[in-house]
Amino acid sequence: MKFYDVSLTISNDLPTWPGDPVVHLRRIHDIANGDSVTLSQLDFGVHTGTHVDAPVHFVPGGSGADTLSLDTLIGLCEVRRVPDEAKAISAEILETLHIPFGTTRVLFRTSNSAIWARGENKFQTDFVAIDRSGAEWIVAHGIKLVGVDYLSVAPFDAGFPTHDILLRAGVIPIEGLNLSQIDPGEYLLYCLPLKLKDADGAPARVILIH
């Protein structure tokens, strides 16, 4: 078996969604400075880096990140490569990806992964994401978890429909994956978000096993 960590490293240089809290990671005690211990402080938003969205993020009265089912977050998944020329993950594109019948978890590797591969730390607005038709296709085909390789499952200027369709249907979005080293195929997925009570999202460590 081979293990792949497809999580982004949280650092002060990590890009965040415009208007979201930026990452502040700092040492408040340091053995190198004569302190008895080294101790760090971390301040950032729950939608930082690799993270999951909870229903309450877009659905009034929805549940929080601490209620997301491990049965959905852990299990077999399909990684599919979206053509680099695609501007969005639409229903038309999804029809071409040959996702096996009965698949419940899909991660989409797009041209976004090249952003992480080159170490880009400036937020990009032209990333590839799932449009309304793609979200409707995902729900209609019984998929319960989707993963994307940039910081939102929805296009930059059209976030509401995609999120609303997926979250109301109980689909868990994983956002901010780095799939630049991952080939298409079947993997065992472990996605473990922090157990934050009633939170609208939670950072996650995501591992693929092949």
Where in the sequence numbering do the catalytic residues fall? Answer: 57
Q: How many helices (H) and strands (E) does the chain have?
A: 5, 10
How many Å apart are CA 193 and CA 181, to the nearest integer? Answer: 22
Distances (CA, A) of 91 to 31, 73, 86, 193: 55, 24, 12, 28
Q: By the 8 A CB rule, do 31 and 23 touch? A: no
Axis-axis angle for helices 159-168, 132-140 (nearest 10): 10
